[in-house]
Structure 1
Amino acid sequence: MPSLFRLFSALPLWLLHAIGAVLGWVAFLASPTYRRRFVANAARAGYAFCQVRPAVAHAGRMVAEAPRLWLASETPACEIRGADCVERAWAAGRGIVFLTPHVGCFEMSVQAAAGRWAPQHGPITILYRPARQRWLAELMRTARNRPGIAAVPTTLQGVRQMIKALRAGRAVGLLPDQVPPQGQGLWSPFFGAQAYTMTLAARLVQQTGAAVVLARCERLPRGSGYRLHLQDLPEPLAPTLDAAVLQINQAMEQLIRQSPEQYLWGYARYKQPRTEAHTSAAPADEGRA
């Protein structure tokens, strides 16, 4: 498998996206459970399958492009729009919490931002959950620590590193529509249904005074590259945790509606949170640890 990863990393992006589109449809047709969840999640958001049909292929493209994004020495082209909101935050001396849902190429979001701002403002810190397979865990550990990116594990120590980075005026990146373990989130509406939602993003902002920047990185046609869209949170984050988490969920909905054909509708967003034997993210007092 490592050899296959390295082989894929050398392929051109247009070919990877073509292969990925086929893989996406194979997975969709082969798994009734995945197919039902995809259609049901889209329906919750008010979309008929015909409106989000391209998302089937984009899910496969996400998998196929990963080896290139992790291992290739040259990063694919990515245009950045809305950079002024990032510049304003750093001009004010604030750290930045980049938030992006599972839409488009979220792996490229951090790489493009790091390439643009890390030389001047330091690396962007991101959380990652180590894979169970030893070879993949080692690959992820080394591949995600690319120039300008500091990948830290989903442990209390990793959260402490994020807080330290924000208080130093640097940036962190999170996917707040990811289902956290039991005890590390709360139930909040997402497209009209209750979804267990991480509190970490809101806590990081509330405890450090960081700015929130919303990010959405779309894939361009025929493997021609990516376009990263950046924007401010429409309103300052609410001071209470419940309201702040709801506000972030609503912001993620807004981003998804800008590009529903590239969202991972098959993601199990409404599942019950898993129970972990040890703390893998932040407890209620993570900012004081």
Structure 2
Amino acid sequence: MKRLFHLLALWPLPLLHLLGAFLGWVAFLGSPTYRRRFLANAAQAGYAFRQVRRAVGEAGRLVAEAPRLWFGAPVPVQWKGDELIEAARASGRGLVFLTPHLGCFEVTAQAYAQRFGPMTVLYRPARKAWLRDLIDRSRARPNLETAPTTLAGVRQMLRALKSGRAVGLLPDQVPPNGLGVWAPFFGKPAYTMTLPARLVQQTGAILLLSWGERLRGGRGYRVHVLPWQGALGEGPDQAAGAVNQQMETLVREAPTQYLWGYARYKTPRQELAP
């Protein structure tokens, strides 16, 4: 498998995206469970299948582009809203980037690390040993560090923020049991992490939103950076609800690039559904 990943890393991005689109439809048509979840999540957000059908291929592109992003030559990246990063860095405070499962979220951290400097990203280690080793090796890049979803990982992110550096996380990822609260996401309760608010409150970091748009024709990516709108909220329930609202806004900017097949509404073990 490692050899296959290194081989695919040599492919041009347009060809990988073509392959990915095909794989995305194979998965959608071949897996009733995945298909039902995709359609249900999109409907929960108010979208008919005809409005988000392109997201089927985009999900496949997300998988197919990974070898190139992990092991291949740098990909073309454009920026929109990077002046917000410049202003935030000038303040000397840490930066917390919130990125949903929208577009190519892998490229957002890579692009920041390559252009602006050190960044620490939160990730959940893969369960399979070979995949965990592969991902760990692929993300060992200059200026890019990874923090596991453990107490040690949270401490690592706090240290980075207190030293004025940047951290990034996917706030629409279902957190481990005990590390979240139930908050509405597109009108339905979703177990939501409380970590973003805790990081900001404990370090005084600046909160920014970002997502990586996948450009058509394999032309590369455009990283969008947006300011946080409104108050974060004091309590964990309010903060989680505010985070979900911001993520909804980003998703509605490009619903055909959202990962609708992600099990956003699943219940962590030992956690009672509302």
CA deviation string 1:205-256 (max 9, x = no partner): 1111111110011100110100000011012422222111111110000000
Match of 2:62 in 1: 62
Mapped pair 1:83 → 2:110: no
Q: Which residue of 2 aligns with 1:210?
A: 205
| More moved, 141-150 vs 28-37 | 141-150
Which amino acid in the other structure matches residue 158 of structure 1?
G
1:93 shift after superposition: 1.6
Q: 1:100-119, aligned counterparts within 5 Å?
A: 100-118=99-117
Question: Per the alignment, in what secondary structure is the counterpart of residue 182 of structure 1?
Answer: coil
User: Is 1:31 paired with 2:31?
Assistant: yes
Counterpart of 2:44, as a letter, is R
Cα distance in 1 between the residues matched to 2:166 and 2:213 = 21
Question: Take 2:263 and 2:90, find their aligned partners in 1: how far apart are those partners?
Answer: 39
Match of 1:192 among 187, 192, 203: 187
Counterpart Cα distance in 2 of 1:240 and 1:92? 26
Amino acid at match of 1:2: K
Q: CA RMSD in A?
A: 1.2
Matched with 1:99 is 98
Match of 1:260 among 255, 261, 265: 255
Runs of 4 or more consecutive aligned structure 1 residues displaced over 4 Å after TM superposition:
none
Matched, 1:151 2:146: yes
Q: Normalising to structure 1: TM-score of the pair?
A: 0.91
Aligned to 1:19: 19
Aligned-partner Cα distance in 2 for 1:180–1:152: 14
Deviation for aligned residue 1:274: 3.3
Q: TM (normalized to structure 2)?
A: 0.96
Note the alpha carbon deviations across 1:85-139, whole angstroms, 9 max, x for none: 1112111221000001000000001111111100xxxx10012222222222111
Unmatched segments (≥5 aa) in structure 2: none
Specify every segment of 5 or more residues in structure 1 that has no aligned partner in the other structure, as ranges: 277-289
Aligned length: 271
Q: Tell me, yes or no, if the aligned pair for 1:131 and 1:137 is still in contact at 8 Å.
A: yes
Task: Determine if the alignment matches structure 1 residue 129 to structure 2 residue 129.
Answer: no
2:229 to 223, 226, 234: 234
SS at match of 2:65: helix
**Aligned residue for 1:183?**
178
The residue aligned with 1:42 is 42
Q: Using the alignment, how far apart are the partners of 1:134 and 1:182 within structure 2?
A: 22
SS at match of 1:108: helix
Matches within 5 A, 1:273-288: 273-274=268-269
Is the 1:181–1:275 contact (alpha carbons within 8 Å) kept by the matching residues of 2?
A: no
Shift, 1:275, TM fit: 5.2
Task: Map Cα deviations across residues 249-270 of structure 1 (whole Å, 9 max, x no partner).
Answer: 1000000000100000011100
Equivalent residue, structure 2, for 1:8: 8
> Which letter maps to 2:105?
F
